[in-house]
């Protein structure tokens, strides 16, 4: 059973702060890792993907992967109220059906 | 125009009724998926299809069936709806790597 765990939150941060979202996974064969953002009432959209250990930066977003510890995180710098959403972590093992397993999501609230 | 469309967007039905949710995509992808999302439970895979002749069960297929009418169309049916099938349903597509899931806008289904 592949498991992807996230704290459901809500995580509340002030505008301009760094928001840190964490995700752990159980399958050591996992090779691909994704962060989706889902605004209330909308569908998820991919914002970051990471495949190797270390950091990957894209604008205000940084994904961090540590395969030895089986966790992946998303940092949002200079958080804005428009970043308020639910962030879904998704993990895919190598080979097989190539279908990611989604975590339950973390709700982020950025308050002015 | 949206790449992945779903109809209807909202549906209220009664216990025991048969209903069909439809999904169409213009991305040209072979892979299509049906997920349901419940508060606190994240996205769970119901069925997936890798091409017109390929249908596979996901983790929660009981009570559901699907039909892949064409590369662009993938329908989800509830043969006899029950109240615990009340949820938000998403259709998605992906390229063969599965790295990016492109979601439709969702169908909010309520079973009374």
Among the partner residues B48, B100, B105, nearest to A43 by beta-carbon distance: B105
- Strand residue runs (E) in A19-105: 19-25, 30-38, 45-50, 54-58, 61-66, 71-76, 85-93, 101-102
Chain B residue numbers with beta carbons less than 8 Å from the beta carbon of A8 are: 40
Strand partners, B16: none
Q: What is the pLDDT of residue A95?
A: 64
Distance from CA of A3 to the nearest CA of B (A): 12
CB atoms A44 and B56 under 8 Å: no
Strand partners, A102: A90
Is residue A1 scored above 70 in pLDDT?
A: no
CB atoms A104 and B104 under 8 Å: no
Nearest CA in chain B to A7: B40
- Percent of chain A whose predicted confidence (pLDDT) is above 90: 81
**Best residue in B35, B43, B107 for a mutation probing chain A (most A CBs within 10 Å):** B43
- B101 close to A (CB below 8 A): yes
Which residues are within 8 A (CB) of A83 and not within 5 positions of it... i.e. 6 or more apart? A19, A76, A108, A110
- B100 close to A (CB below 8 A): yes
Mean pLDDT, consecutive 10-residue stretches, chain B (112 aa), reads: 91 97 96 93 93 93 96 96 97 88 96 96
Span A39-67, average pLDDT: 96
CB atoms A100 and B101 under 8 Å: yes
- B39 close to A (CB below 8 A): no
Cα separations in angstroms, B14 against A83, B80, B81, B95: 37, 9, 7, 36
Q: What is the pLDDT of residue A96?
A: 64
**Span of A24-28, A64-68, B19-23, B37-41 with lowest mean pLDDT:** B37-41
CB atoms A105 and B42 under 8 Å: yes
- B45 close to A (CB below 8 A): yes
Q: What is the pLDDT of residue A36?
A: 97
Q: Output b/e per residue, A22-48; b: 16+ Cβ within 10 A.
A: bbbbebeebebbbbbbbeeeebbebbb
Q: Which strands sit side by side in the sheet containing A71-76, from one edge to the other?
A: A4-6, A19-25, A71-76, A61-66, A54-58
Confidence of residue A2 (pLDDT cuts 50, 70, 90): low
């Amino acid at each position: 059973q592949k498991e992807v765990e996230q704290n459901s939150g809500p995580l509340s941060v002030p505008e301009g702060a760094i928001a840190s979202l964490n995700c752990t996974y159980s399958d050591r064969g996992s090779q691909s890792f994704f962060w989706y953002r889902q605004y209330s009432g909308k569908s998820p959209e991919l914002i970051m993907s990471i495949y190797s250990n270390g950091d990957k930066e894209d604008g205000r977003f940084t994904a961090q992967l540590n395969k030895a510890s089986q966790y992946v995180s998303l940092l949002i710098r200079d958080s804005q109220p428009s970043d308020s959403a639910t962030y879904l972590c998704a993990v895919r093992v190598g080979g097989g059906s190539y279908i990611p397993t989604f975590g339950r999501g973390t709700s982020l609230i950025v308050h002015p | 125009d949206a790449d992945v469309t779903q109809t209807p967007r909202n549906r209220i039905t009664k216990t025991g009724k048969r209903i069909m949710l439809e999904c169409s995509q213009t991305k040209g992808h072979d892979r299509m998926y049906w997920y349901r999302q419940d508060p606190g439970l994240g996205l769970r895979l119901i069925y997936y299809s890798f091409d017109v002749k390929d249908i596979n069960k996901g983790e929660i297929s009981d009570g559901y069936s699907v039909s892949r009418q064409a590369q662009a169309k993938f329908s989800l049916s509830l043969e006899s709806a029950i109240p615990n099938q009340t949820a938000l349903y998403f259709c998605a597509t992906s390229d063969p790597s599965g790295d990016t899931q492109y979601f439709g806008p969702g169908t909010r289904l309520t079973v009374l």
